[in-house]
Every structure is written in C-alpha cells, then in structure tokens.
Amino acid sequence: MKILKVGIKNLNSLRTEVFIDFERPPLADTGLFAIVGDTGAGKTTILDAITLALYGRVAREAPVQELLSYGTADGFAEVDFETPAGVFKSQWFIRRARGNKTGKIQPPERILSHLQKETGLFEIIAEKVSEINQKVEEISGLDYVRFTKSVLLSQGDFAAFLKSGERERSDLLERITGTEIYSRLSIAAFERQKTERQKLEMLEVERESLRLLTDEEVADLEAGLKNLDAESKALKYEIGKLSKLKERHEKIQLL
C-alpha cells in the first residue's frame, strides 16, 4: 500500500484546505522526510487525516466529532492510495447542520472510489461504512489495528511493535511487503502433502492386506486353466453335434 496524496480541511488546528501530494516535488524527490513543528501546529492531525479517510477513526481514539476545527461549518479528510489492485480514493466528510458554524455536528459520511484507467476519473465503489471498511481491508490487506501497528505507528507504539511477538510482527511485515502469498502457498503445500501422505498410508495398509500367490500356486492355476479350456472346447464340440441332432429330430417330427 502506497499513500499518494492526503487532503485536509478544517481538522483540529489546520483551519484551512490543504493537499499533500507525495507524487510531486519536492516530496516525490525525497526518500526520507520529517514532519516537524511546534506543539499544536497540526503534525498529528496529518496522521489523523490518513486514518480518518481510510478507517473513519484516529489512533488517539478521540471522538471524531471533536476533530472539526472550532468555528467552522465543515471539514474533510481524504487519501489517494495505490495497491496492486489499482489506485483508490478514500474520503471522510463532517459538517454542521444547515452549514451553520454553530449548528449541530452531523454524523460523518464516507466514500471509497476507484480510479478508472480508461477515463482517468474516480468511480464510487462504496458509500456504506461497513462496506468501506471491508473493501479497504481487502484492498490494502490491513485492517485498522494492523495499519496503526505497522504503517502508521503513533507515539510510543513503535516500541510496542518491536516488543510484540515474532508471529505478530511476521504477519504484519508480510502484509506490508506483500509477501504473505508465500506463507499461504507454504501452508497450502503442507496441507496437500499431509492429505496425500494419508492417502498413501491407506493404500499401503490395503496392499499389506493382500496375499501374493507363490510360484507353485500360480503354476497350478495356469494348469487348471488349460484343463478348463480343453474341457470347454470339448463341450462346445458336443453342443454342436447335439444341435445338429436336434434339428434333424425336429424335421423328422415335422414330416
């Protein structure tokens, strides 16, 4: 999963509409960069916008209604991201009733769209919260918990990631790097080998239950077969003779 673009409007201290494009200079030409600034400048809000757009939640587990900047009527967070399945845009919107700055905050809305290569436009593929969460997990291979423990580590969580169990770290790293397919293939191969071995063992048990004939027994059976073959030929000859006698007798009876 690769984050391409982040959009923010009126979230916490960021009382403006801003877009961070990782596909354009200077960020596109920078391998490593840092988000720095004074306390309250909006550093964490940028990270919040990513999880809001993707999962409708923030790592700090704060109520999302409280993220709208004070004195504003609406706000949003959106993320363009890329996976092997294509390019997608995940959006999160929040607004006050009737667009009034003092109106009651309404429940957030979310949209997930897929970029169509033919038109270059995003096409909506999901608008329901449960459906979006499911599709984002399917597309990225990461649910909210895995995402916040791997791609987006909040303050203090990096040490927790390093101290987590080997199996959990391995699972997260496989999903991040896209190599989980090899684990699935390994498991499938092991299960197939197990099944085939069980079949082989059953066949070996059946083979052991079969008694092989000795050479003398085979010779006796072959001799008996020859005798039966000779008797069969003799009986066929007698049947032929009797059939002719029967036909002759029937003609005599008819006359």
What are 130-180's pLDDT values in tens digits?
899 999 999 988 888 878 776 776 555 555 566 667 777 676 666 655 556
Q: At 102, is the pLDDT very low, low, confident or very high (cuts 50, 70, 90)? A: confident
pLDDT for the residue 205: 87
Structure tokens at 176: 């991040």
Cis-peptide into 26, omega within 30 deg: yes
- Contact at 8 Å (CB) between 22 and 3? yes
Q: Buried b vs exposed e over 80-96: b needs ≥16 C-beta within 10 Å?
A: bbeeeeebbbbbbbbbb
37, 43 Cβ separation under 8 angstroms: yes
Give the pLDDT mean for 76-102: 93
Indicate the length of the chain as a whole number. 255
- CA-closest candidate to residue 43, choices 60, 56, 31: 60
Residue 221 has pLDDT above 80, yes or no: yes
Q: Residue 55 pLDDT > 90, yes or no?
A: yes
Per DSSP (E only), the strands in 12-85 are 14-21, 74-83
Cα separation values, 3 from 53, 157, 162, 196, Å: 12, 20, 23, 44
In this prediction the pTM is 0.60
Taking CA atoms, 174 is separated from 104, 142, 169, 183, in Å, by 44, 11, 8, 8
Residue 132 burial (10 A CB sphere; 0-12, 13-18, 19+): buried
